[in-house]
Structure 1
Amino acid sequence: MRFSPGETVVRRYFRGGYVTMAQAARVVSDDDSHLLLWVPRGSDFACRWHADGTRLREAPLPVIADAPVRTTQWVDTDVLILVPPEADHSVWWFYRDGRFTHWYANLEAPSVRWRGPGSAGLDTVDHVLDLVVRPDLAWEWKDEEEFRASYGPWGYWDERTARRIRAAGDALVTRIEAGAFPFDGVWRTPPSSVGPVPRLPRDERLWLDRPAPRSLAA
């Protein structure tokens, strides 16, 4: 399945079969090498929230299931997202006022694409552990404490899966330190003329109620 340039897609993150975050994005390009998405300031962004109004991140599944989903807008930065096919990560370029500030390598399950009446998108599961990379290629791990709490007897994954996730991050570190694609200076300037600010479908049933793919529901 291919998406068309200019098309709006919904990028959904799951945990245990529940949508934890949904992001409206504009397709810049889609080919055999990668999918490129644009998320400008003001784009629709939905996630689950605690009762006190703070965003829910990692939590036990019963808490996730009971937390309300609220739609807001992406603020402060514009983001270009690279989603390689079959990959266990995505790479984000952050821009502030048109200036590239840093990369963000998000470790996640390979995306599953879908298309339905009135909406289309791709689904994944966040693997918690991430990398933040400065323009000079200096890097650091992000959310290591949350990652350590996410596996073992009370976590989302067993230790074997956790080692595989960490190995995926280590492979990205090798590319970062070598200045290899996509950390080679490509797309330091944000795209232009990719259409209006993307919105989530008004009817939440088109994206929130759509079940998770079997491979991501566990």
Structure 2
Amino acid sequence: MLRRYFRGPHVSWAQAVHPVADDEHGLRVWLPAGAGFACRVGPLVQGAPTIEQYGAAPLERRTWADRDVLILHPPGAAHSVWWFFRERRFLGWYVNLEAVIARHPNGIDVVDHHLDVVVDPDRSWRWKDEDTFAASTDRPGFWSTSEASAIRAEGRRVAAAAEAGRFPFDGTWCDFRPDPAWPVPQLPHSTTI
């Protein structure tokens, strides 16, 4: 399936992922090293003063490298939780703050909010990309100051769950192993993603 990130009306990332489960915990997908993905590249990606200039940066096809990732989209949540693995060893969690997923026949779409929370295996945490988040606040096509407050509050709620060792930071799926028969997912061959 396809997992697309949007910034404004523009696809910023597209990841080919393998569906794992869709149950009371949410939608889980597997993103292994070697999977196909695409991302916007170039100097306009981080420093674009407008959403239109950001959308003008080219979308380049690449191969996901270095780490395998189990991604959870909890039902109705404005974030996803990522379990990072390298050579089957759990490395920690990553919380991507984003809009609630929108489903479509080929996968899911999310609107990325730039700000993220990195959670180490000992459940200590830190913000990531605060400068980019602040620079995008109140820009047309991104989010307002009041929306930024709600995004940051979502991050604080997830960080509190991590500190307390509550699900999903309670050790669940830290030993996840994909089915060896699963093929490595690739992006569709069409020119549009």
Q: Structure 1 length normalisation: TM-score? A: 0.83
The 1:70–1:30 alpha-carbon spacing in structure 2 relative to 1, beyond 3 Å, is same
Instruction: Identify the residue that residue 22 of structure 2 maps to in structure 1.
Output: 30
In the alignment, structure 1 residue 91 sits paired with structure 2 residue 69: no
In the alignment, structure 1 residue 195 sits paired with structure 2 residue 187: no
In the alignment, structure 1 residue 56 sits paired with structure 2 residue 45: yes
Q: 1:44 aligns with which of 36, 42, 45?
A: 36
The 1:58–1:175 alpha-carbon spacing in structure 2 relative to 1, beyond 3 Å, is farther
Instruction: Identify the residue that residue 101 of structure 2 maps to in structure 1.
Output: 111
CA distance in 2, matches of 1:57, 1:85: 30
Instruction: Identify the residue that residue 130 of structure 1 maps to in structure 2.
Output: 116
Displacement over 4 Å in runs of 4+: none
Give the deviation of 1:189 after TM superposition. 1.5
Q: Size of the alignment, in residue pairs?
A: 191
CA distance in 2, matches of 1:154, 1:68: 20
In the alignment, structure 1 residue 69 sits paired with structure 2 residue 59: yes
The 1:155–1:12 alpha-carbon spacing in structure 2 relative to 1, beyond 3 Å, is closer
Equivalent AA in structure 2 for residue 178 of structure 1: A
User: Aligned to 1:204, what secondary structure does the other structure show?
Assistant: coil
CA distance in 2, matches of 1:169, 1:17: 23
Contact 2:88 2:177 in 1 (8 A): no
Aligned residues: CA RMSD: 1.7
Contact 2:102 2:109 in 1 (8 A): yes
**5+ unaligned residues in a row in structure 2: which ranges?**
none
Identity fraction in percent: 47
**5+ unaligned residues in a row in structure 1: which ranges?**
1-8, 209-218
Task: Give CA deviations for 1:33-88 in whole Å, capped at 9, x if unaligned.
Answer: 311100000000101111xxx79346322222222211100001100000112110
Give the deviation of 1:179 after TM superposition. 0.2
Task: Give CA deviations for 1:61-116 in whole Å, capped at 9, x if unaligned.
Answer: 2222222211100001100000112110000000011100110011000000001x
Give the deviation of 1:191 after TM superposition. 2.0
Q: Structure 2 length normalisation: TM-score? A: 0.93
